[in-house]
Structure 1
Amino acid sequence: MKYIYHGFVYYNNNVHGNPPLRYLGCAEHKKNGCRGRATIPVNGTVEQLKVTKPHNHPPDQMAEEKESFLKELKKAVRSDAMEGATLKRVYEGVSEAFPTVAFEIPFKSISSSLHRWRKNPWM
Structure 2
Amino acid sequence: MISPVGRKLAVLPLLLLPLGALAACSSENAQTDCTVNACTVTFDRGVEASASILGVKAELVSVQGQNVTMRIGGQQITVPAGEGEQAEGFNVSVQSVTQENVVVKISNGGG
Verify same fold: TM over 0.5. Answer: no
Specify which structure has the higher proportion of helix: 1
TM-score for both structures, normalised by structure 2: 0.26
TM-score for both structures, normalised by structure 1: 0.25
